[in-house]
Every structure is written in structure tokens, then in C-alpha cells.
Structure 1
Amino acid sequence: MKFIKFLLGLTTLTASTIGFAQNSSEKEWQQVYDAREAIYEKNIGKLPNDIMKAPNLFGIWPGGGFYVIPADKIKKGLWVYSTFGFTNSDMPSTVTATEIEVEHDNQGRVISSSSKLEKKSETIPLSGKAGHGYEVLMIAKENAEWPLWFMQWTGNIVLLNDVDLLARVEKNNGLTVEAIPVGNDENDTINVLITKAQKPLPTDIKLPNGNMQLLVATVITDEEMEWSIENGRDALLKKLMDANIGQISDRNRPSVLK
């Protein structure tokens, strides 16, 4: 659970400073970034000037980070928390980070960070896909800290543990994950259902470097979690859509099964 420490020290940078890896040309990288930005601003909302980056991912994800976006294009009052860079032209990374050390002050701010970069023994080519082929979103009714814990968890499992979320979603018609930490208290956790984006979000996206899918993580109750295991993740998504909850996360809502 070491990643919890890193989340508390998310660093905010201006988008122009995020950089790109050497296995991608600057021109190509910028074209992909600009195309993705245009899609987000058309369908979700205007990107803020600052992007948040996790110190433990600096070396392997130099051009990526997390955005908190006022989602006015979906519905006023909603917020989208999103990875932004899984589909970069320099992804998947050919290196991984080990011996990660991050030092914080007493307010949780990063003082220093270091890690050792090691070349991966194998990088699986993703034919036809833009980088990893997807970005991950969470849509919430509040501007809060807890969704950022989820985004940090996502960054770690994809970039440090090489988990292909899109492949798992496609294989199982959705993916459920139980008890993801979203706070300092060990009991502060969420369950999520991860599925492909539903309308009004775009469902088939083409970037200059390949195809991109949006995956949306929706907070679900313990009861819904258990029900989906027996009845299917796609069946749970249908119930959420029919109940007009859709893919919006609300930690305080009642179960759709009651």
C-alpha cells in the first residue's frame, strides 16, 4: 500500500512543463496531446491550466498526469477526474521505476523524490491503439480529494504493475474492484465498476497515433459489488443506467438493488 504516501504529495505543474519521452518525437507527441485536449474540451469541459503529477511516476510517465475538470459539457455541477497521458505517443513506457523514495513535509507536500529506472524486459506492442489505448475517468458530484486517491491507484496499477484495464473490461464486460483506499483511514475505501464510457461521452475516438477508449470508474455499494459477481458487470451497468445514475459516482447513494 506504499502508493498512499505518494498521493498525498501530488505535484501541480503547468501543462506546458510536462515534457515527453525520447522514444517519441516532439511534433508527434504534441499532435496527440492537442487532439486529445480538443476531444475532452468538446465532450467534458475546459482543461485547467495545471496538471497533477505523482512523484513516483515522474520517470516512467514524463508526459502524463491527472486533471480535475469542471464537467460543464456533461452537466453543470459535475467534476471529472481523469488520467491524461496513457494514450501519449511515448506510451507504453519501456522502463519501470524501482527503489522509489518520496520525502514529505508535515503538511504532506513533496520535499524530494527519487527512483531508479530499469528497462523492462518486454513491452507488449498494442497494435492500432494510441499508447495504452485508453484513459480512465471518474465523474463525481463534488470537487474533493478522495477521487484523486483512485486516480493515483489507477496510475500505479497501469504503469508500475502493467495491468491492461481495457483488456480486462472487454474480456469480462466490465471490471469490479473492491476496497480501493481513498483516504488516510484504512477503512476509507470504495468499490468501483469500470466500464467503457456510455453516451453522451464519446465511445470511439481516433487520435493521430491510434484508437482511444474512455473507461469510466463508478463507485458502487457492497451489495451491488456482490450482485455483479453473480449477474454480470454489464447487468449492473444497465441497472445504473436505468436508475438514471449512469456512470456518476456518489458515495452516499442507496443501492439500486433496493
Structure 2
Amino acid sequence: MSDPQFRLTRWSLVLRARGDGDEAHRAMGELCEAYWFPLYAWCRRSGLAAAEAEDLVQGFFLRVIEKDLFAAADASRGKLRTFLLTALQRHVRDEQGKARAERRGGGRVVSFDAVEAEAWYAGESIDGESADQMFDRQWALTVLDQAIGRLEQEAAGRGKGEAFGALRPFLTREGSAAEYERCATPLGMNGGSFKVAVHRLRAKFRDALRAEVAETQPDGEGVDAEIRHLMNVLGASGLADSGLPGDR
């Protein structure tokens, strides 16, 4: 990737988020932006009301900053997915043991609209799914979005944003010859060359996905196992065809 940010792993963001400097605040902002919804979904699926879930997620990230909660984080000790969920669960247990008569003074770390978040949660909920299962599914979809975001940014940097937008719907499904021809025409391509471009983009997608998953693993290990786990999570919820693609 041409953007140097992509050489920073998700675990490295956790390590950079330690302390109180500008770099730490920027790293924390990136973590919050990427992973707030899986944490919010876990809280809601655990039976917490929307307002309480929002308060707990905001409070979790605020506590991370104020108490330097990531000071003891060690990327060699496990998956980022497990680390963040375990830290949130510990925070929720601590907070549930306290009276909530006082608010935190309006401190907000994650920028999200509560109404929009709740609508998103309602649309993503699956009957019978546990809080941990929903967290893993949302984590899988977040990883997928991050991988697609890598490709989109790279394409935009090469002036290929329009082509990427046309190719993107076929990342996880086969199109018909008619669809390929229709999408190819505005790009000055024919259906055959468009299909070839689709398969090339899928190969890049698999590479971007592996890179994204590697950044959440201890020392980049266990990538294949983690991808299989995420694919199984999406498959169990009936989202395999629209989720993480395998080799085709």
C-alpha cells in the first residue's frame, strides 16, 4: 500500500494510544472509529438499554484515556479482538457495581449518533444470537469494511475511484455477462475486460483482508485460523455470501 498508515498495525495503534500526547489521542481516535460498534452491539445484546450501552462504550474509551488502560497491553499475548472485548467486559462489571446517579460530565470519545447507532443495532440483530456471537459477527464485518477501505483508498490515490465503485458490488458475488457489460460501458471497457478486472480486484481483496487480520493478531500469527473463524461466524449467521470471500 502506498499510504504509510497501512504499515501501522491495529495492535500498534493500541500501543501508540498509551499516554496523553497528541499522537496517543490520534491513535485512540482511530481505534474508536474502527471498533466502537462491535463493542456497542455486545452491550446491547447483553441486555443493556441503548442509553446505558452508549454510556458504557463512551465511558470505556474515556477510562482508557484517563487511566491509561492500555499501558499494560502486550500484542504478543493474544488477539486484539479478544483483548478489547475482555477489557470492555471488565469495565462493564466495574460500572454495574456503581451507582449511576452522576454522569461523567458529558465526556465523549466516540463520535456517533445514538439514534443512528440504535437503528444500526436493530437492523443487525439476529434472534437467538448471544452477545459474544454478535460481537464476533460485527467484528468480522468491521474487518471486512476495513479491508475494503484499504482498496478504496488505494484506488482513489491512483485516480481509479470510479472504476472501484463499479467493481465493488462484485467483490463477493459473480455477476452475469449482462451486468458486466452494463457496468463496463461507462468505463470504456467491454464485459470481458471488466470480468478480468473483477477477478483481479478479488485477489487484491484477499490480500487486503489477510493484511487487516494480521494486524489484529499477536505478531501476525494465526492469520489463517482467524480468517476461518470469521468466515464461520458469518456463515453461521447466513452472511457468508456477502461477507469474507474465500479463494475462487
TM-score interval, normalised by the smaller of the two chains? under 0.3
With the length of structure 1 as denominator, give the TM-score of the two structures: 0.24
Q: State the TM-score, normalized to the length of structure 2.
A: 0.25
Which structure carries more strand by proportion?
Answer: 1
Computing the radius of gyration from Cα coordinates, the structure with the larger value is 2
Structure holding more helix per residue: 2
